[in-house]
RNA sequence: GAGCCCGUAGCUCAGCGGCAGAGCAUCUGACUUUUAAUCAGAGGGUCGAUGGUUCGAUCCCAUCCGGGCUCACCA
């Protein structure tokens, strides 16, 4: 998904488009027009997306950035106002739990509670744990060519970008508390403060009881872990805000116009909005998307480790298919499991075909998901066969290599070749991998009976004597003769035995065609390996 | 408890104001030196229920029933 491609300004199309990114973009446009009507200057539109960097980027991270990017590009068709996507990392959060997948756990444990950017990097490669996680996040986003403006929360707090908004929160402390307290349990109400001081003594982000706040001096006074009082400024990175106030304050401080979030944030949105207003901002346009479910219908989360990882998806299908899956119905909770992959790939192929069809109008093109997925510039390549067909071919012929697959493909699309259809070539690899990992393990190979064994040996010998025969009919004749010679009656039992013993399935491709494509010599090898019991043994593992 | 999503053919889902659709599955036929692929065709749905808006509702609105998720401690 190359980004940065310039999006053509086409308000005529964008205003009428029905695809959801356009609906969102029109919300932003209305916001801009509202501001202009009030006499405000609008020099750019800022979209935001945020991450908790205590874990590795995951499939949801991809979805969030991709979706926000699509809205941004849709807006680019509507308005010449420049846009920017801020990707902010909450790297000032205190470390609450030592992640499972890091080394130096003792060191990490000793640093619990400190900001992620104040903890040494357990991998030893970066300035801090937070820096390392940020680097991984950026590498991940760069790998997809997203166009974004990276921000570190630590940097934002320390550099003073938030100072005005923070002082504002301090000066309206009671108002903030009035918003927050009703949402808290009784116990938490006793100790709650929107400000979390970073202890000058321990370096930890403290959930401390605040005993006094001084708007004039810009400080709060709180109880340290040992019960003594300590006073710190709220500015300059000496305090961070609790997450809900943080969300709202950040909107105000950075002038965010648009943000998406998962369903779990939805109930808190009114709070974010209230804090944003208190902090002197106007809450951004927002969009809630549904969460992904695993095969049991449960929410996918990093900690549970259920559902698909992004690497898993990209092992079996191209990224376009993943992008399409993210594009479709963001407000519906969808199952994210392996079996949705083939359909996503074929939907993509169909949509790409429709996009390029002569009868497709410009209006339809801009509504087509592939327009969004490819940032307004879908590739010209077409796919003469579907992924489902490739999977069928791989299954039917027990294919483990590209040559056999291409032999079949050319039977359907004579013009196709790995050189002319690089996308299809990748799809062939994906299909083989999918077959190897999901279909093949389900196959049930059986050993040959004595009668079959003799016939198979005969067939293998005949094949070996055929040299480089390529004529499907001639090869099929040999297969037929051998079956007759060994008195299989009806003859279909003979073919059935071939499929069951060689392919581990009860049906398959026309055997002569397969052997001709696969090579008679190679087929002979296949037969001998089957007779040696290799396939039965492999299946038993 | 509050909020959100879903309920359409056996299964998975698309459609979201104008004669009910796709893929898979099933069945029939063609082709075949096979049971695959391919091709042709068929069956199968009071579009969860009830009211309302409309010339017209699967689609919009309301209520209800059923299923699921999220939040309620922390981010």
Structure tokens given for A173: 């402390």
**Is A297 within a domain?**
no
Indicate if A430 and A463 belong to the same structural domain.
no
**Is A379 within a domain?**
no
More confident site: A444 or A475 = A475
| Smallest CA–C1' separation from A153, nucleotide | B75
Of the three residues A318, A340, A373, the one that is the final residue of a domain is A373
Indicate if A72 and A40 belong to the same structural domain.
yes
Q: How far is the CA of A323 from the C1' of B56 (A)?
A: 38
- HEC string of A303-332 equals CCCCCCCHHHHHHHCCHHHHHHHHHCCCCC
**Is A2 within a domain?**
no
Scan residues 141-160 of chain A and list those with Cβ within 7 Å of strand B: none
**Angstrom distance (rounded) from CA A231 to CA A211:** 10
Strand B atom within 7 Å of A331 CB: yes
Of the three residues A442, A467, A483, the one that is the final residue of a domain is A442
Strand B atom within 7 Å of A306 CB: no
Strand B atom within 7 Å of A196 CB: yes
**Is A378 within a domain?**
no
**Is A125 within a domain?**
yes
Indicate if A145 and A258 belong to the same structural domain.
yes
Strand B atom within 7 Å of A420 CB: no
Structure tokens given for A384: 């003469």
Q: Which positions ≥6 away from A247 have C-beta within 8 Å?
A: A268, A271, A272, A275
Q: Tell the residue number behind the tokens 């697959």, with chain if given.
A: A405
Q: Is the pLDDT of residue A246 over 90?
A: yes
**Is A101 within a domain?**
yes
Confidence bin at A3 (pLDDT 50/70/90): very low
Q: How far is the CA of A33 from the C1' of B24 (A)?
A: 49
Q: Is the pLDDT of residue A442 over 70?
A: no
**Angstrom distance (rounded) from CA A403 to CA A273:** 59
Q: Is the pLDDT of residue A280 over 90?
A: yes
What pLDDT, on a 0 to 100 scale, did the predictor assign at position A304?
62
Strand B atom within 7 Å of A265 CB: yes
- HEC string of A256-275 equals CCEEEEEHHHHHHHHHHHHH
- Reduced to 3 states (helix: H, G, I; strand: E, B; else coil), residue A286 is strand
Q: Is the pLDDT of residue A29 over 90?
A: yes
Do the Cβ atoms of A169 and A275 come closer than 8 Å? yes
Scan residues 464-503 of chain A and list those with Cβ within 7 Å of strand B: 473, 476-477, 479-480, 491-493, 495-496, 499
What pLDDT, on a 0 to 100 scale, did the predictor assign at position A1?
42
Q: Between vectors from CA A54 to CA A49 and to CA A56, what angle results, nearest 5°? A: 75
Strand B atom within 7 Å of A267 CB: yes
Indicate if A121 and A212 belong to the same structural domain.
yes
**Angstrom distance (rounded) from CA A204 to CA A539:** 55
Do the Cβ atoms of A361 and A13 come closer than 8 Å? no
Structure tokens given for A317: 């299908």
| Smallest CA–C1' separation from A342, nucleotide | B23
Of the three residues A292, A318, A341, the one that is the final residue of a domain is A292
Strand B atom within 7 Å of A41 CB: no
Q: Is the pLDDT of residue A130 over 80?
A: yes
Burial of A264 from C-beta contacts in 10 A (0-12 / 13-18 / 19+) = exposed
What pLDDT, on a 0 to 100 scale, did the predictor assign at position A2?
39
Indicate if A237 and A343 belong to the same structural domain.
no
Do the Cβ atoms of A404 and A390 come closer than 8 Å? no
Scan residues 497-536 of chain A and list those with Cβ within 7 Å of strand B: 499, 506-514
Helix residue ranges, H only, A51-192: 59-78, 105-110, 129-143, 153-159, 163-171, 173-180, 186-191
Scan residues 48-87 of chain A and list those with Cβ within 7 Å of strand B: 52
| Smallest CA–C1' separation from A510, nucleotide | B36
Q: Is the pLDDT of residue A4 over 50?
A: no
Beta-bridge partners for A288: A261
**Angstrom distance (rounded) from CA A440 to CA A418:** 25
**Angstrom distance (rounded) from CA A83 to CA A76:** 8
| Smallest CA–C1' separation from A493, nucleotide | B34
Q: What is the CATH number of the domain that holds A210?
A: 3.40.50.620
**Angstrom distance (rounded) from CA A346 to CA A226:** 62
Indicate if A259 and A344 belong to the same structural domain.
no
Indicate if A130 and A158 belong to the same structural domain.
yes
| Smallest CA–C1' separation from A340, nucleotide | B12
Strand B atom within 7 Å of A388 CB: yes
Please state, in angstroms and as integers, the Cα–Cα distance from residue A488 to each residue in A462, A491, A506, following that order.
18, 5, 17
**Angstrom distance (rounded) from CA A366 to CA A242:** 41
Q: Is the pLDDT of residue A473 over 80?
A: no
**Structural domains of chain A, count:** 4
Give the phi and the psi of residue A375 in degrees, each rounded to 5: 55, 45
Please state, in angstroms and as integers, the Cα–Cα distance from residue A26 to each residue in A29, A34, A51, A79, A128, following that order.
5, 12, 26, 10, 41
Tell me which nucleotides of strand B come within 7 A of a protein CB.
2-6, 12-15, 23-24, 32-38, 68-75
**Is A1 within a domain?**
no
Range of the domain at A327: 304-373
**Angstrom distance (rounded) from CA A166 to CA A191:** 20
pLDDT (tens digit, 9 = 90+) per residue, A148-207? Answer: 999 999 999 999 999 999 999 999 999 999 999 988 878 888 889 999 999 999 999 999
Scan residues 283-302 of chain A and list those with Cβ within 7 Å of strand B: 288, 290-291, 293, 297-299
Do the Cβ atoms of A11 and A78 come closer than 8 Å? yes
Q: What is the CATH number of the domain that holds A509?
A: 1.10.10.350
**Angstrom distance (rounded) from CA A104 to CA A98:** 10
- Reduced to 3 states (helix: H, G, I; strand: E, B; else coil), residue A27 is helix
Q: How far is the CA of A411 from the C1' of B40 (A)?
A: 20
Indicate if A399 and A470 belong to the same structural domain.
no
Indicate if A315 and A221 belong to the same structural domain.
no
Confidence bin at A514 (pLDDT 50/70/90): confident
Strand B atom within 7 Å of A329 CB: yes
Structure tokens given for A121: 């990097």
Query: What integer is the mean pLDDT of A480-499?
Result: 78
pLDDT (tens digit, 9 = 90+) per residue, A374-398? Answer: 999 999 888 887 887 787 777 766 6
Indicate if A47 and A128 belong to the same structural domain.
yes
Please state, in angstroms and as integers, the Cα–Cα distance from residue A482 to each residue in A474, A485, A518, A528, following that order.
13, 5, 19, 16
Indicate if A257 and A120 belong to the same structural domain.
yes
Strand B atom within 7 Å of A537 CB: no
What pLDDT, on a 0 to 100 scale, did the predictor assign at position A160?
95
**Angstrom distance (rounded) from CA A208 to CA A198:** 10
**Is A7 within a domain?**
no
More confident site: A82 or A453 = A82
Strand B atom within 7 Å of A22 CB: no
Indicate if A79 and A204 belong to the same structural domain.
yes
ipTM: 0.85
| Smallest CA–C1' separation from A92, nucleotide | B75
What pLDDT, on a 0 to 100 scale, did the predictor assign at position A355?
87
Handedness of CA A412, A418, A419, A420 (dihedral sign): positive
């Amino acid at each position: 998904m190359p980004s940065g491609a310039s999006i053509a300004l086409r308000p005529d199309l964008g205003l009428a488009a029905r695809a959801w990114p356009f609906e969102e973009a029109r919300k932003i446009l209305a916001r801009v027009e509202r501001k202009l009507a009030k006499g405000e200057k609008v020099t750019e539109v800022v979209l935001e997306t945020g991450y908790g960097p205590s874990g590795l980027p995951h499939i949801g991270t991809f979805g969030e950035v991709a979706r926000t990017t699509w809205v941004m590009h849709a807006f680019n068709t509507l308005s010449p106002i420049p846009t920017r996507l801020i990707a902010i990392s909450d790297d000032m959060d205190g470390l609450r739990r030592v992640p499972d997948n890091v080394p130096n756990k003792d060191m990490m444990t000793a640093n619990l509670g400190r900001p992620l950017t104040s903890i040494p990097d357990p991998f030893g490669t970066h300035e801090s744990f937070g820096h390392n996680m940020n680097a991984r996040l950026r590498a991940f986003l760069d790998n997809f060519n997203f166009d974004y403006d990276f921000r570190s929360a630590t940097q934002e707090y320390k550099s003073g970008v938030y100072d005005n908004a923070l002082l504002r929160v301090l000066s309206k402390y009671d108002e903030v508390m009035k918003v927050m307290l009703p949402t808290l349990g009784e116990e938490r109400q006793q100790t709650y403060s929107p400000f979390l001081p970073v202890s000058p003594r321990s370096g930890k982000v403290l959930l401390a009881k605040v005993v006094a706040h001084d708007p004039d001096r810009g400080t709060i006074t709180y109880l340290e872990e040992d019960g003594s009082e300590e006073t710190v400024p709220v500015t300059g990175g000496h305090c961070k805000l609790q997450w809900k106030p943080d969300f709202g304050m950040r909107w105000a401080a950075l002038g965010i116009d648009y943000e998406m979030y998962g369903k779990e944030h939805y109930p808190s949105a009114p709070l974010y909005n209230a804090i944003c207003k208190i902090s002197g901002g106007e809450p951004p346009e927002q969009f809630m998307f549904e969460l992904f479910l695993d095969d049991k219908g449960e929410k996918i989360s990093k900690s549970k480790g259920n559902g698909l990882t992004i690497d898993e998806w990209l092992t079996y299908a191209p990224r376009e298919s993943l992008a399409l899956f993210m594009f479709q119905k963001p407000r519906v909770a969808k199952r994210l499991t392996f079996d949705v992959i083939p359909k996503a790939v074929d939907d993509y192929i169909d949509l790409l075909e429709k996009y390029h069809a002569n009868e497709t109008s410009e209006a339809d093109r801009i509504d087509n998901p592939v327009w969004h997925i490819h940032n307004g510039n879908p590739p010209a390549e077409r796919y003469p066969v579907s992924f489902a067909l490739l999977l069928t071919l791989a299954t039917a012929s027990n294919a483990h290599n590209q040559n056999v697959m291409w032999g079949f493909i050319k039977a359907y699309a004579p013009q196709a070749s790995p050189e002319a259809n690089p996308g299809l070539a990748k799809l062939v690899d994906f299909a083989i991998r999918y077959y190897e990992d999901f279909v093949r393990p389900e196959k049930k190979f059986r050993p040959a009976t004595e009668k079959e064994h003799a016939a198979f040996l005969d067939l293998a010998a005949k094949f070996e004597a055929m040299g480089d025969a390529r004529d499907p009919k001639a090869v099929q004749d040999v297969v037929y003769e051998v079956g007759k010679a060994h008195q299989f009656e009806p003859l279909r039992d003979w073919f059935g035995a071939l499929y069951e013993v060689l392919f581990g399935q009860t049906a398959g491709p026309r055997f002569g065609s397969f052997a001709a494509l696969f090579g008679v010599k190679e087929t002979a090898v296949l037969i001998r390996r089957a007779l040696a019991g290799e396939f039965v043994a492999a299946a038993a593992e």
